[in-house]
Amino acid sequence: MNRRFSTTRETRETMIRVDLDLDGTGQAQVRTGLGFLDHLLTALVRHARFDLELACDGDLHVDDHHTAEDCALVIGSALDSALGDRRGIARFGEAHAPLDEALARAVVDLSGRPMPIIDLGLARPSIGGLSSEMVTHVLKSLAVAGRMALHVDVLRGDNDHHKAEAAFKATALALRRAVALDGSDEIPSTKGML
């Protein structure tokens, strides 16, 4: 089964090229122009054990919004396409991930119905050049384009960098479990489709 998808997305605000392999080894080549976003996406890929090549040229002279949102939308869409009809996947995944004093929880359902519920409790206006509101928005956009229910909570923590990174690592681990092939040839739904 080939669970890989490549695409290009070009708008007036961003030009993005992506190649995503769900059955990779955690290799990431990410270039968005936003260092902290690169860091978060690299952590996501590493711990989900996906392979990702992503290059984005965005209108960073405006702000970080279009680049961060569009990268998440393209990754989510690639994930959705790579899953195909979602036959034989575990579908559900949950995980906790600590980073020093921070602890995050993520629960995912690759249901085909997008529903992001994200509560990171970030206090700083930005982290490494990425606005804190965009950290949350990236996870929401990933869930919408990936057609998944995604619940992510930071349960405790003092350092916003640690909280954000723990949230992405927990999401990665939950996705790794949800996309895992369970040995069946069935679509994991009573409806017969996802």
Max Cα–Cα distance, the chain, nearest Å? 49
Residues 22-40: pLDDT tens digits? Answer: 999 999 999 999 999 999 9
In a domain, 193, yes or no: no
Q: What is the average pLDDT value for the chain, to the nearest integer?
A: 97
Domain housing 97: 4-179
* Mean pLDDT score, 76-97: 98
In a domain, 45, yes or no: yes
In a domain, 142, yes or no: yes
What count of residues does the chain have? 194
In a domain, 110, yes or no: yes
| pLDDT over threshold 80, residue 97 | yes
Residue 100: band (very low, low, confident or very high) from pLDDT cuts 50, 70, 90: very high
In a domain, 194, yes or no: no
Residue 59: band (very low, low, confident or very high) from pLDDT cuts 50, 70, 90: very high
pTM over 0.95: yes
The CATH number of residue 93's host domain is 3.30.230.40
Name the domain count of the chain.
1
| pLDDT over threshold 80, residue 186 | yes
Residues 104-152: pLDDT tens digits? Answer: 999 999 999 999 999 999 999 999 999 999 999 999 999 999 999 999 9
| pLDDT over threshold 90, residue 1 | no
In a domain, 186, yes or no: no
In a domain, 169, yes or no: yes
Question: In this structure, which amino acid lies at residue 156?
Answer: R
* Mean pLDDT score, 89-105: 98
Beta bridge partners of 21: 4, 51
| pLDDT over threshold 80, residue 96 | yes
In a domain, 84, yes or no: yes
